[in-house]
Amino acid sequence: MFFQKAEWIKYLGTFTNSELKANAVYDAIKSNYVCLSKAAASLRSRFKPVVAWLEYKQGIWSFSKESYKLQYVTDAGGENIDSSITSNIYNVSDPEERDSFHAILCTLDVVIDQTNAPDTTEYTITTFLENINVVDDSCFGFVTNQSVWRYDKRALGPMTLDWNDGAISQPQLVLADLIEAFFPTGNYTTTYFRNLAKEEGVIKVGPEMCNRDISAPMEPIIVPCQ
């Protein structure tokens, strides 16, 4: 599914007589993704973190059911929570539902919070904890281990994320980010994901950050992989 979107470059290449270049770019992206996934599989044999994509809206928490996001978790060496759990929604204003939701959170090693925010720069770990309506977070492994993430690290404006453009064209970077989130080394700087628990901020993306001639085609970023 990732490669279907990345493959658009082949389609566009036909309009500019750039088929050979487009095919080379696509092959490089796919090869890098496959290599990273294989590397993550070896890490998974030692530890397989339980991961959930969460979203908060008007007092309700829900789990992502988007198949491509769940596939990213699997390819990065993680484990998605059971689908019977993700089918439910949880109103944190209701004590019974809140307790059930918190019980699920206690089973997670990594949380990816995809809640929409009016201004991504103002969304912090405090915002997240307030939204889950928790007094004692001592059982939350993802808080203790500082593994609360959002994919809004690169933003073109308060609500415009590079995730919606760049991540589609370079899925290998998303995978590399998630591998670092699941199996942190400290030697890799994530592109799209920022760690709320470590108070990472948002990077404002603008034209001044482009370090190439606009007439030159953009080359894919290949992550070192063995």
Per-residue pLDDT, 87: 75
What gap in Å lies between CA 60 and CA 54, rounded to an integer?
A: 10
What is each CA distance from 106 to 1, 98, 101, 137, 180, in whole angstroms? 31, 12, 9, 9, 22
- Global pTM? 0.90
Rg (CA), the chain: 19
Question: Is position 199 within any domain?
Answer: yes
The secondary structure element, H or E, covering residue 215 is: none
- The domain in which residue 107 lies consists of 2-207
Question: Is position 151 within any domain?
Answer: yes
pLDDT tens, position by position, 55-113: 999 999 999 989 999 999 999 999 999 888 777 899 999 999 999 999 999 999 999 99
Q: What is the CATH number of the domain that holds 44?
A: 3.40.50.1980
Contacting residues for 207 by C-beta, under 8 A, at least 6 apart: none
Question: Is position 224 within any domain?
Answer: no
pLDDT tens, position by position, 146-155: 999 999 999 8
Per-residue pLDDT, 6: 59
Q: Is the pLDDT at 8 greater than 70, yes or no?
A: no
Question: Is position 216 within any domain?
Answer: no
